[in-house]
Structure 1
Amino acid sequence: MRLSEFIEIERDERAERRRLADEKSYEILDRLDGVGDQFAEISGGDAVGSVSPSIFVGRAGYPNVSTGLLSPVGNENDAGQFVTDGAWYEEGVSIGDVFERRTSLLNASQTAPVETNVHDTWEGFLGVQREVALADRPVGIEVGLDGTPELDLADSVDDVSAPTGPRARANDATLTENPHVPRPVKKTLEDDDWRATGAMNYLYNRGFDVYEINTILSAGALGKRENRRLVPTRWSITAVDDTVGQYVRGSQRNATSVDTVSVWHNEYLGNSFWIVLAPGAVGVRTRRVQSPR
């Protein structure tokens, strides 16, 4: 119980500033300095050999978007750890770890229209990007850069977005090894009369998590031939979550009702999750509450 809850007390602004200064962390700034050192030797005209675990498609300028290959330059042996997936939870990855992994990825990118015949593109930069998206493990690549990598977090100031690493324009990209594509992915790729929603649910039923499906969709490798196009990463995340979520909810409609009320709780990355199960007809209600700072 605090006295300020019952009577109005004038705030001591100096004391408040001192408190905030004591609590301030410079870990992020120190990390950004480290990122600059990590990529300092890379400059325009260089051909960078690395391993690409994933891709990124931006949404700014749509329908002409920035599409890139992500590479942990200097950390090729651990490239698999830089792929965003459910394994991060199993590892207990912290917010600091997420920030470090995200900012360690070089985004070598080009600008392309989303409807750039991606359904039949296997050559050049977009072809390499597509191969990386379809593979079930990081792929060896070589990227020719047209500029020096630059780290810019300005876009995150007025927007909610994941931290990203340095970006540099790419002239071209080539594969240095043959990617391994799982059989279910080949099936959805080759069947270009299959709607994207059906292909997503098929992959989910074959054990692919939403992160993997999101990457494949983002590369324009799902859906009917005439509808295939590059999908900005943020939009593909929403599409996959919505599609798979509807499928999972639908599969539970005929399930046997629980007999008693049960409450489940977990916490991760500063979020607290509560799930309440109660007897009755199948239904889902969600509530999102922001805790006081």
Structure 2
Amino acid sequence: MRLEEFIEGFERDESIERRRLAAEKSYAITDHLERVERQFEEALQGEALFGSSAPEIFVGRSNYPDVSTGLLSPVDRESDAAGYATSGDWYRRGFGIDDVLQRRTGLLNSTRSTSVDVTDVWDGFVGVQREVAVADHPVDVEVGLDRRPEFELSVDDVRTPTGPRARATDATLAENPHVPRPVEKTLEDDDWRAEGAMTYLYRRGFDVYDINTILSAGALGQGRSRRLVPTRWSITAVDDTVGEYLRGTLRNAASVDEVQVWYNEYMANE
């Protein structure tokens, strides 16, 4: 219990309170954003950014079927690009909110508007984006930008934090991406429905985050129906499909003849 609760008529000294709050605050994120801006300046070559792109993309949902699509690239050229891709490994490694925030805000989102119809599109910016999405490791890319990025931290209660963003004029692969054989199989089969392909990849050990990225890139489903899928929608589709598969595996499992209570918590999710 605080002292002021014992003293009737106690008035808090506002200047002392402000100093206390300032002392308790962490300015690590502002230092991080300043560092990101410096790293971007070092990575920028004229009006182009060259470096590894994390095996992750972003597809917006506004104005569907004409959407904003983005390549996510670490602005720190010396860092491990694979470590920036969202994955279940973050939980296994015990990452906290600060770790996630620094990784998400350290990614440059190079965006362009495009139609979701990408049945046979494997060239241009969207083609590079799809190649990055199906690769099993970060791919070196060169991205042309038409303006300097906006260094603004965007945070809300739905979307993951985002780092700097800029409109892309073009993108070029600097190396041939390696595509895992199971993904090649789903790409080659034009008659395979997306639900079956997602379950197949999950059973082959693919993380749900990887499947989400592949689905977003329009690389799953029957050939004539392949479309870019907004990231938020693809997350729901993958969760529902994998959840249905897992529920099916429990039907023949041995019964539990006692009451059990399981609890877990991670980054305020219970």
TM-score clears 0.5? yes
User: Counterpart of 1:149?
Assistant: 149
Q: Which secondary structure does the structure 2 equivalent of 1:267 belong to?
A: coil
User: Counterpart of 1:93?
Assistant: 95
User: Counterpart of 2:136?
Assistant: 136
The reply to whether residue 27 of structure 1 matches residue 25 of structure 2 is: no
Structure 1 residue 41, shift from structure 2 partner: 4.8
Structure 1 residue 24, shift from structure 2 partner: 3.5
Q: Which secondary structure does the structure 2 equivalent of 1:241 belong to?
A: helix
User: Counterpart of 1:119?
Assistant: 119
Counterpart of 1:80, as a letter, is A
CA RMSD of aligned residues (A): 2.6
Counterpart of 1:55, as a letter, is I
Q: TM-score when scaled to structure 1?
A: 0.81
Percent of aligned positions with the same letter in both sequences? Answer: 64
Counterpart of 1:210, as a letter, is V
Q: Is the 8 A contact 2:198 2:241 kept in 1?
A: yes
Distance 1:237 1:12, change over 3 A: farther
Q: TM-score when scaled to structure 2?
A: 0.87
Distance 1:224 1:167, change over 3 A: same
Counterpart of 2:150, as a letter, is E
Q: Which secondary structure does the structure 2 equivalent of 1:170 belong to?
A: strand
The reply to whether residue 185 of structure 1 matches residue 183 of structure 2 is: yes
The reply to whether residue 213 of structure 1 matches residue 221 of structure 2 is: no
Alignment coverage as a number of residue pairs: 262
Q: Is the 8 A contact 1:48 1:143 kept in 2?
A: yes
Q: Is the 8 A contact 1:44 1:148 kept in 2?
A: no
Q: Is the 8 A contact 1:134 1:181 kept in 2?
A: yes
In structure 1, runs of 5+ residues without a counterpart are 3-8, 274-293
Counterpart of 2:85, as a letter, is V
Q: Is the 8 A contact 2:43 2:75 kept in 1?
A: no
- Aligned match for 2:162, one of 158, 161, 164: 164
Runs of 4 or more, structure 1, over 4 Å off, are 9-15, 17-23, 41-45
Counterparts of 1:153 and 1:258 in 2: how far apart (Å)?
48
Counterpart of 1:70, as a letter, is L
User: Counterpart of 2:5?
Assistant: none
Counterparts of 1:41 and 1:150 in 2: how far apart (Å)?
16
C-alpha distance after superposition, 1:96-151 (max 9, x if no partner): 11111111111111111112xx1211111111111100011111111111111113
Q: Is the 8 A contact 1:114 1:230 kept in 2?
A: yes
**1:46-65 to 2 correspondences below 5 Å:** 46-53=47-54, 54-65=56-67
In structure 2, runs of 5+ residues without a counterpart are 3-7
Q: Which secondary structure does the structure 2 equivalent of 1:39 belong to?
A: helix
Counterparts of 1:121 and 1:143 in 2: how far apart (Å)?
18
Distance 1:225 1:87, change over 3 A: same
